[in-house]
Amino acid sequence: MLRVSQHAERTDVGMQRQANEDNFIARSPLFVVADGMGGAQAGEVASQTAVEVFKHGLPDGVPEATLQQMIGVANRNIHDQAHADSSLSGMGTTITAAFVNSEREEVVVGHVGDSRAYRLRSGILQRLTRDHSLVEEMRRRGQITEEQAEDHPQRSIITRALGPEPEVEVDIQAVPAEPGDIFLLCSDGLTTMLNDERIRELVNGATSLEAAVKTLVDEANRAGGRDNITVSIFQVEDPENPLPRGETPTLISPSARRREQAAGVRDRPARRSGIGRTLAKVAAGVAVLLIVCAGLFYASRQVWFLGTDEGGRVALYRGLPYELPFGVNLYSERYASPIQTSELSAPRQESVTGHKLRSQDDATSLIEDIETREGL
């Protein structure tokens, strides 16, 4: 048997955002973090709608099935709201949820988007979720390194979220848990500012879970705080042998560290035959191609950019500034300004011709600012 011994949560608007579109809920043994996106207040509405589904906890049943079902309900609620109210069009949210299954001594994790879940055991931090993002797919294919992924300009483009479609694929897994394990859920406002190693150092060095979440948020803000930051952290224990209260929850003894490292040693799997390896590579290539196509399709519906149309005018586009073979464009023109790009100052021309990916709000605000400055 396991139970949650203690937990702590913290959310912050960050240093560069005007509003906090993150939401979380902590109803032990259930914890949820959601990171909304969309114009105006739509992102906040999306994330709030997602966590509201979990306000009464997880219904009885098989945790994996009920968690997946509830995330599906959250997705449909957001999708229906967006279609019923044009001001909420295009809104969506990530979600990462964790439920402590005490009888089976495991934590069930449900995940959509790029918010993350981690497990800290014996001082070793393990990432439990895989980001549903274009940059993560590029990293997995070996096109970029882990270091390049951390600072990639397109790392915020996600390939899966709640809301844009009536149905969504949810990643569900049951993670074995032991007394003393610490689980951390967070929005990408934390992980875009701090890498996994820095997160591990800060949690290991904290004197309590409350201190850990405060330190993580403060450190992310000191690093730039480019996005909203939300952290939810909890620790599990054996009810018959509870953890001492007041003791540093992440204090790791050398013997425990050695046991963890020794337990990580496994026999290497046998090598496949040449034909098996070839077939595996072909199958993997097809799978990657399908993932990339799906990711590009979804991303093309989530981002906006400025460019120049065929008449030389400043234009607003939805999608990605790329063209695929056979004349397939990943963008569509949504508005054309009467202003000619060639009439703008050099910095203004760069903001148009650079095709920087933006949110709908940012892109719209920029083109409005250009028109205002040009006297329209």
Total-model pTM: 0.67
Helix ranges (H only) for 165-273 are 188-191, 196-205, 209-222, 254-263
d(CA 138, CA 133): 9
Q: Environment class of residue 292 by beta-carbon count within 10 Å: exposed (0-12), middle (13-18) or buried (19+)? A: middle
Domain extent for 343: 304-373
- 202 and 312 share one domain: no
In a domain, 273, yes or no: no
Whether 105 has a pLDDT exceeding 50, the answer reads yes
Residue 256 has pLDDT above 60, yes or no: no
Identify whether residues 313 and 255 lie together within a single domain: no
Residue 89 lies in a domain: yes
pLDDT at 252 over 50: no
When divided into structural domains, the chain yields a total of 2
Q: Are 37 and 47 in contact (CB under 8 A)?
A: no
Report pLDDT for 213. 98
CB atoms within 10 A of CB 245: 9
Position 287 in a domain: no
Residue 196 to residue 185: CA distance in whole angstroms: 13
161 in the same domain as 88 = yes
Residues 48 and 108 in one domain: yes
When pLDDT is averaged across residues 362-374 and rounded to a whole number, the result is 82
Segment among 26-35, 70-79, 198-207, 339-348 with least mean pLDDT: 339-348
Q: Residues 231, 190: contact at Cβ < 8 Å?
A: yes
Does 29 score more than 80 pLDDT? yes
In this structure, is residue 279 part of a structural domain?
no
- 265 located within any domain: no
Read off the CATH number of the domain in which 68 is found: 3.60.40.10
Q: How large a percentage of the chain has pLDDT more than 90? A: 55
Alpha helices for 302-359 (secondary structure H):
346-353
282 inside domain: no
For 58, the token pair is 């997880």
Q: What would the mean pLDDT of 135-145 be, rounded to a whole number?
A: 82
Same-domain status, 254 and 111: yes
For residue 82, is it within any domain? yes
> Mean pLDDT, to the nearest integer, of 336-357?
83
Percent of the chain whose pLDDT exceeds 70: 82
314 plus 250 within the same structural domain:
no
Residue 34 in this model has a pLDDT that exceeds 80: yes
Looking at the predicted structure, is the pLDDT value of residue 212 above 60? Answer: yes
* 205 and 340 inside one domain: no
Q: Residue 108 pLDDT > 90, yes or no?
A: yes
Report the pLDDT value the prediction gives residue 39, as an integer from 0 to 100. Answer: 65
Token code pair at residue 98:
């964790």
